[in-house]
Structure 1
Amino acid sequence: MTTGVTQDTASQGTPMAPAIIRTSVRRHSIKVELCTPAIGAELSNVSLADAALDPDAIAEIRALWLKHKVLFFRDQNISPMEQQNFAAQFAELEAHPLAPSHPEADKLLMLYRNLDPSKPKNYVEKASRENIWHADVTYKKAPPRGAVLRCELGPETGGDTMWSNMVMAYENLPATIKQRIDGLYAKHDAEHTFGAQLPIEERHAMAAKNPAAEHPVVLTHPETGEKVLFVNSAFTTHFSNFFNFEDIRYGQDFMPEAHQLMNYLTSQAAIPEYQVRLKWRTNTVAMWDNLQVQHYAVADYGNAPRKMLRATLAGTPLT
């Protein structure tokens, strides 16, 4: 992970916690190391297990989370329940609608890969849908507010995760594109991703249980007020209210314009200048704002085992 200038939160104008605080929570004060100019910060001198018990520490971390959009914590040797307790300080937690939870912490999603030692060395499990730029579960009317992901076991090399700043992606769009997408809505669906390999009856049942949702293409963040480009390659299927009757000769002129615009917008997450990349180590924790960023789990580690636990922060319906 790229390193940068080390700061403490006082130098950034964020209110500090009271001087009297348990040493188990902090050894001194939370240290903030910027990862890139665009996104990401690594926090040290803090125990997440103990910070969960201190409202001032949580308030400080929340302010940094909103500012930097994704936070990294190293050497957090915590239990699944301690991870769940920490995440629960930021929002109610929700289990994934289509994946199993951890037996010791019912709100933690198990993202486990390549754990069967009987498989041949050249075996790779079926392609994961995490190695595509996306925000989590945007096909819900109330997408998750964020996530807290911990590495239990990672490959010796590979298996990094990248995040992209979708606030910056919107800010840097050409003025003509901003004008064109103002007021547009888009549909987000899971049937063509999670349901694509299912028999038709099961796919239809899954789609009925998880109906498509409609969200603004340009989302106003509920806490920061920033505008966010809110479309992604995994779940966004089409604009709901795109039209252009001014320069269309025939009907065939209509859809290419919409498709090309959608492809252009979803491609913005892949611009390197908006990104940060994390090399995982055991007990590394990443915490991100699911409304402000997209992420991409790089699937370059072959049949090496990778065990991750994710707590999902529940969101509210988007407008």
Structure 2
Amino acid sequence: MTTTIASPETAPAPASSIKVERLTCSIGAELSGVNLGDVSRDEALFAELRALLLEHKVLFFRDQDMSRDEHVALAERFGALENHPALGSDPDHPGLVRIYKDLDSAPEHYENAYHCDATWRENPPMGCVLRCIEGPEVGGDTIWVNMALAYEKLPERVKEQIANLRAKHSIEASFGAALSEEKRHALKERFPDAEHPVVRTHPETGEKILFVNSFATHLVNYHTPENVRYGIDYAPGASHLLNYLASQAAIPEYQVRWRWTKNSVAIWDNRSTQHYAVQDYWPAVRKMERAGIVGDKPF
């Protein structure tokens, strides 16, 4: 009896145990049949997850009772982690940021605006892994937006107008606004306004992405003879255009909305999405832990 052994080239690939359910026509998929603790230790599983992230832009999971060590290890497979200057990290896990909203916390209004995380950095985060530790019985959902699709659907005349525009992004005008003047200036000195293209290119997929959000304060190179007939055109013209572009994130056809439960997890590509944390639940408690992954300079 002769036994034939398939060569590596002809052997069938092992079937994946991951079940993928798309949540909308434009963005987001819920994955089941996978344990993220295992993904943090398994190169092949992680490669599959990363490919799905590029395809769907945000991935969702339920019932992931992973440890903080596993949370950090999973995020670190994407790259180095970063701290946040305005939010506290877990003392034993640098880069694992605690976003705890409880009865001792006054309601804040930073997250309930459409934004990419930390675009006030020269190198904004590549992405994030966010886990719900404790959530309200109802409320506290998060919305994500496909900003590649938002760019694709813009009128051609607008695409031509914004092709070479750049915008400033500021932590001083957002997180710094509630600080004293001295602390606000110190924060800006530590994190000077960053300048990014209004339309960035995704470094892995090549997609064009509309890259302005609530951290963007103004367009820096709008004031040209092509755009300005008289000086009065500049201030309202530039701000109206920026507001129009930022408003594209609010279009429901580009969105997915996720209802959190304990131990649910979201992983998103911060380069191609925006998100909005709905703050409709206070004084209920909402405790989240987020690992933000260092990204590259937008181009």
Is the TM-score greater than 0.5?
A: yes
- Aligned twin of 2:253: 273
CA distance in 2, matches of 1:259, 1:73: 39
- Aligned twin of 1:85: 73
Question: 1:82: how far off?
Answer: 1.1
Deviations 1:148-181 (A, max 9, x none): 0000000000000000000000000000000000
1:29 equivalent in alignment to 2:11: no
Unpaired segments ≥5 residues, structure 1? 1-16, 21-27, 117-123
CA distance in 2, matches of 1:229, 1:65: 19
Question: 1:240: how far off?
Answer: 1.2
- Aligned twin of 1:310: 290
- Aligned twin of 1:282: 262
CA contact (8 A) 2:127 2:268 kept: yes
CA contact (8 A) 2:107 2:282 kept: no
Alignment of 1:12-91 (within 5 A): 19=14, 29-91=17-79
- Aligned twin of 1:256: 236
With over 3 angstroms needed to count, the CA separation of the structure-2 counterparts of 1:247 and 1:109, relative to structure 1, is closer
After TM superposition, the structure 1 stretch with the greater mean CA deviation from structure 2, 279-288 or 103-112, is 103-112
CA contact (8 A) 1:162 1:276 kept: yes
CA contact (8 A) 2:222 2:234 kept: no
Question: 1:19: how far off?
Answer: 3.0
Provide the alpha-carbon RMSD of the alignment: 1.5
- Aligned twin of 2:155: 174
Question: 1:127: how far off?
Answer: 2.0
Question: 1:18: how far off?
Answer: 5.3
Deviations 1:8-38 (A, max 9, x none): xxxxxxxxx9539xxxxxxx61000000000
Question: 1:104: how far off?
Answer: 3.4
2:156 partner amino acid: A
Question: 1:115: how far off?
Answer: 4.2
1:293 partner amino acid: T
Alignment of 1:1-319 (within 5 A): 19=14, 29-116=17-104, 125-233=106-214, 235-246=215-226, 248-319=228-299
Number of equivalent positions: 288
CA contact (8 A) 1:65 1:71 kept: yes
CA distance in 2, matches of 1:67, 1:160: 23
CA distance in 1, matches of 2:13, 2:78: 20
CA distance in 2, matches of 1:302, 1:246: 48
* Percent identity of equivalent pairs: 53
CA contact (8 A) 1:157 1:301 kept: yes
1:268 partner amino acid: Q
CA contact (8 A) 1:81 1:104 kept: no
- TM-score, normalization by structure 2: 0.93
Deviations 1:124-155 (A, max 9, x none): 71323001000000000000000000000000
Question: 1:246: how far off?
Answer: 4.5
With over 3 angstroms needed to count, the CA separation of the structure-2 counterparts of 1:247 and 1:74, relative to structure 1, is closer
After TM superposition, the structure 1 stretch with the greater mean CA deviation from structure 2, 79-88 or 162-171, is 79-88
Question: 1:247: how far off?
Answer: 7.0
Question: 1:241: how far off?
Answer: 0.8
1:287 partner amino acid: I
- TM-score, normalization by structure 1: 0.87
